[in-house]
Amino acid sequence: MNDLTKKQQRWSREKYRVMFHSQKHYNEIREVLKRGTDLERVDQLIEEAGKAEPTKGSICNAYQHMWGYFKKYASEEEREVYISMLDAFIDDKVGSEELLAYLNQLAVKYEVEYLLQSTILK
């Protein structure tokens, strides 16, 4: 497997976890990947991102991107549950883990392999 393929696979597994922690790091990694860089640099940036304290905004952004995989397939009830849980998270009534568990449940139900391979769900 060549270095480009390794970088692409690594990024596809890590991008939502990075987005969860830091939009700044997410954008930086995308840029260095476009310009071309070695796998070690990508790994370093991913590790740095994982140390960043997530904000409500970064968490919501990551979850909304993940929700995008289900919006065509999810039932109206599932959509309402997601919206309700997201609102409850914003209002500090549920933790981010509960919302993530629901997204994981949907990923399993709808067999969204891309998300199931993502480190944010592991």
pLDDT in tens, 3-59: 778 888 999 999 999 999 999 999 999 999 998 888 899 999 999 999 999 999 999
CA 74, 117, 35, 5 torsion-angle sign: negative
Range of the domain at 31: 3-51
What is the DSSP secondary-structure string of 57-103?
Answer: HHHHHHHHHHHTTTTTTS-HHHHHHHHHHHHHHHTTSS-HHHHHHHH
Q: Decide if 78 contacts 106 (C-beta within 8 A).
A: yes
pTM, entire model: 0.92
Q: Indicate whether 70 and 40 sit together in one domain.
A: no
Q: Indicate whether 80 and 96 sit together in one domain.
A: yes
Q: Decide if 85 contacts 98 (C-beta within 8 A).
A: yes
Number of domains making up the chain: 2
> Does 21 reside within a domain?
yes
Q: Indicate whether 8 and 42 sit together in one domain.
A: yes
Write the DSSP symbol of residue 53. Answer: P
Q: Indicate whether 79 and 104 sit together in one domain.
A: yes
**To which H or E segment does residue 63 belong?**
helix 56-67
Q: Indicate whether 62 and 76 sit together in one domain.
A: yes
Mind listing the pLDDT tens digit for each residue in 58-116? 999 999 999 999 989 999 999 999 999 999 999 999 999 999 999 999 999 999 999 99
